[in-house]
């Protein structure tokens, strides 16, 4: 049996504790007309948003919000929204690595499940399954950091001009 000092670094641990649908909706406002043969290909719009919150010292919730809609000539064929979340236990990770884990690694784990749900719900709504392309969560995270830095920079500039 080996003794470990109390202040020895703790081994990093990243564990999926649970996954679940927080919110799901599907609208087919033009049914049954929307299900008839279309003369042109619909325009598909997809938006992704990420949220993370600390629930306790080592437990975090990360949620992916996906909104997708299909339009033909300003006529909505369908609208679907999904908020899919996971609980993650993260221990022994330096504080400066927590945020990238929450906004890159956790969504990477959750995305295939959210993608399947969107595919299933559009298919069950009478349309071909909407197969979302893989998402580069690292690039999204970098964009988020750049937007935050820009916002802080403009806030600091405002403060300087007010004083």
Domain ranges of the chain: 13-135
How far is 90 from 60, CA to CA, in rounded Å?
Answer: 8
Q: How far apart are CA 96 and CA 110, in angstroms?
A: 22
- What is the reported pLDDT for 138? 96
Please check whether residue 84 is in contact with residue 63, taking contact to mean a CB–CB distance below 8 angstroms. Answer: yes
The pLDDT tens digits of the residues spanning 12-53 come to 899 999 999 999 999 999 888 777 767 788 899 999 999 999
Pairwise CA distance, residues 105 & 137, whole Å: 8
Statement: the pTM of the whole predicted model exceeds 0.85: no
Question: Bigger pLDDT: 150 or 18?
Answer: 18
Higher local confidence (pLDDT), 32 or 138: 138
The CATH number of 13-135 is 3.10.420.10
Torsion angle of alpha carbons 145, 117, 108, 89, nearest 10°? 100
């Amino acid at each position: 049996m080996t003794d470990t000092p109390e202040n020895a670094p703790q081994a990093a641990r990243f564990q999926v504790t649970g996954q679940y649908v927080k919110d799901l909706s599907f609208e087919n406002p033009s049914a049954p007309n929307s299900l008839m043969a279309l003369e042109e290909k619909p325009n598909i719009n997809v938006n992704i948003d990420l949220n993370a919150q600390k629930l306790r010292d080592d437990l975090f919730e990360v949620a992916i919000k996906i909104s997708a809609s299909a339009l033909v000539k300003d006529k909505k064929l369908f609208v679907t929204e999904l908020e899919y979340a996971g609980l993650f236990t993260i221990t022994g990770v330096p504080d400066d690595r927590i945020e990238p884990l929450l906004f890159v690694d956790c969504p990477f784990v959750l995305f295939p499940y959210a993608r399947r749900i969107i595919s299933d719900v559009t298919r069950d709504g009478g349309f071909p399954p909407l197969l979302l392309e893989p998402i580069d969560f690292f690039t999204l995270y970098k964009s988020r950091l750049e937007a935050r830095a820009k916002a802080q920079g403009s806030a600091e500039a405002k403060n300087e001009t007010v004083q």
